[in-house]
Amino acid sequence: MLAFRRFERAIDSGIGRRKLGYLMIALIIAFFLWFPNDTSQSNYAKTVFISGFFYAIMSSSWALLAGIAGQFSFGHMAFMGIGAYVAGLIARDGVAFAMLGVNITPESISSLGAIIIGTVAAGAVGLVIGWLLLRLRSAYLALFTIAFSELFRIIMLTEYDYTGGSNGLSLRPLLQIADVNAARQVEYYLMFGLLIVCLLALYWVANSPIGLFLRAMREDEDAASALGVNVVRYKILVFVFTSMIVGFAGAIFYSDVGSERIIPEQLEILQMSLIIAYAVIGGMESLIGAAAGAFISRYLLEAMRQVVISLPFGLTTADGSDAFVWDTGYWRFALFGVVMVFTLRYMRNGLLYPIITWFSGRDIAMKETVSIRESDDDEGAAPTEADDE
């Protein structure tokens, strides 16, 4: 502990924690940029990273919606699915809007064009749901988005003539690169670039005046409204914004960048709960924490498919092997659950929160209302509606 305190003092009097934090971020980005050029890494490792980047986008955007804006939506995977399915169907079948005189044929639209239409569709559905529901308290949003997600999944499952049902829908590939290694390299950078752009966009929103309004609304909608914040407008805005981000990410990912087809099972509540779990483990109120939580969790869940521990000192197992094989493939989600329970019980701001806070400096804690709520609890909780009654 003493050594750590000395280390802290040395950092504070030297480069400073914040600068050290920026340096760390720069190093991490440099690592991710260098990684695909490491010839010892196979395409499989890149695939695991690509999947990690995708789930990092999903988790961090959910962190903005739920952690910062306080809107507990369970529809994130459904909006991702809308983006992917609409992009896939438009690229395959085209679409005609007779009233607008627009006729998009499969031949006339590029993969990127279809992806953009998918993104707009996700945003449009988000707008309708937001307009209908975000006037209500958050419990209704949670209930409705659970129902909406299931409804959307069942429609995708049963309209098999159009969507392929459980066989899935194959999206038109975004990239046409014949060489597999080169293609994987480009896919890697594309998904990593998308993660960086999304994080910057989310960060910009979270740290703009809109972000302050969102935090104010999360803490007390009535107070925020009384101070002039147009609560409904900002709720809808952040809902549509995050819907479009995940719709775009989903359409890109399933256009043969991360996977060549999307299936309705990907939209199940179970998958949504994983996104939430990643955000909780990383830190719901920190965009970088949620993204890192998702990436690290995905990586470890993949790595834990089978663990082999080489035994020291010439020790052998009962069958004479010098390696102990633990088939964690069956247990990895149970271990994940243990980490989740630990996080919720002892580190409600996420496993990574203390690290991020340390690097960010003490002042960031002022924004983190879970800490404030915890201290409120210690000193006697703030008045609630129940107290009023």
Partner 1 sequence: MKRISLFISILALLALTALLPTGAVYADGHCEFAEDSIKIGGLVPLSAPGTVAGGVAMSWAINRAADDINAACGVAIDGVNYAIEIVIGDSEGSPERGQAVVERFILEDEVDAVTGVYHSAVGLATMGMLDENRIPTVFSEPWNDNVSANGIMEYDGRPPRNADGVDHVFRVSPASSMVGSVVVDWLLDLGVGNVVIIAENTDYGQPAAADELARFEAAGATVTQINVELGTEDFVPILSRIQASAETPDVVRVIVTGETSFNLTQQMAELGIAPTEDTICVTNQVAFQSEQYWQNVPDGNYCAFNRVGIIPSLFSDTAVELNEAYFEEFEDIVPSYAMASYDAVWIIADGMARAGSMSDGAAIVAAIETTDLDLSQGRYYFEYGNHNPDLPEGTPAFMWHQWPDPVVTMMQYFEQGQSSLDAAVIFPVVYQTHGSSYIAPGTSP
Beta bridge partners of 276: none
Stretch that binds partner 1, among 22-30, 134-142, 230-238, 331-339 (CB under 8 A): 331-339
Q: State which residue, 81 or 130, has the beta carbon closest to partner 1.
A: 81
Residues 6+ apart with CB under 8 A from 162: 89, 93
273 and 55 in contact (C-beta within 8 Å)? no
Contact pick of 44, 131, 140, 204 for partner 1 (by CB under 8 A)? 44
Which of 109, 86, 244, 95 shows the shortest CA–CA distance to 156? 86
Q: Is 105 in the site for partner 1 (CB under 8 A)?
A: no
Contact pick of 261, 364, 367, 372 for partner 1 (by CB under 8 A)? 261
Which of 202, 187, 220 shows the shortest CA–CA distance to 290? 202
Contact pick of 71, 119, 242, 266 for partner 1 (by CB under 8 A)? 266
Contact pick of 120, 347, 370, 372 for partner 1 (by CB under 8 A)? 347
Q: Which residue has the tokens 């990127």?
A: 112
Shortest separation between residue 306's beta carbon and partner 1, angstroms: 6
Contact pick of 11, 17, 35, 43 for partner 1 (by CB under 8 A)? 43
Q: Is 71 in the site for partner 1 (CB under 8 A)?
A: no
Q: Is 282 in the site for partner 1 (CB under 8 A)?
A: no
By CB under 8 A, the count of residues binding partner 1 is 60
Q: Is 370 in the site for partner 1 (CB under 8 A)?
A: no
Q: Is 316 in the site for partner 1 (CB under 8 A)?
A: no
Q: State which residue, 97 or 346, has the beta carbon closest to partner 1.
A: 346
Shortest separation between residue 275's beta carbon and partner 1, angstroms: 14
Pairwise CA distance, residues 338 & 341, whole Å: 5
Pairwise CA distance, residues 12 & 7, whole Å: 9
Q: Is 351 in the site for partner 1 (CB under 8 A)?
A: yes
Q: Is 113 in the site for partner 1 (CB under 8 A)?
A: no
Shortest separation between residue 54's beta carbon and partner 1, angstroms: 9
Shortest separation between residue 225's beta carbon and partner 1, angstroms: 34
Contact pick of 142, 296, 364, 372 for partner 1 (by CB under 8 A)? 296
What are the residue ranges of helices labelled H in the chain?
2-13, 17-34, 43-62, 76-93, 111-133, 138-158, 160-163, 180-207, 209-219, 221-226, 231-252, 269-282, 287-303, 332-346, 353-360, 369-379, 385-388
Pairwise CA distance, residues 201 & 203, whole Å: 5
Residues 6+ apart with CB under 8 A from 65: 71, 73, 76, 238, 239, 242
Pairwise CA distance, residues 234 & 321, whole Å: 61
End-to-end CA distance of the chain: 47
CA angle 36, 38, 39 (to 5 degrees): 110
Shortest separation between residue 334's beta carbon and partner 1, angstroms: 11
Pairwise CA distance, residues 238 & 130, whole Å: 9
Residues 153-192 binding partner 1 (CB under 8 A) are: 157-158, 160, 165-168, 170, 172, 180
Stretch that binds partner 1, among 190-198, 208-216, 231-239, 316-324 (CB under 8 A): 316-324
Q: Is 364 in the site for partner 1 (CB under 8 A)?
A: no
242 and 64 in contact (C-beta within 8 Å)? yes
Q: List interacting residues with partner 1 (CB under 8 A).
A: 1, 4, 42-44, 47-48, 51, 157-158, 160, 165-168, 170, 172, 180, 258-263, 265-266, 268, 270-271, 296, 300, 302-310, 319, 321, 323, 325, 328-330, 333, 335, 339, 342, 346-347, 351-355, 357-358
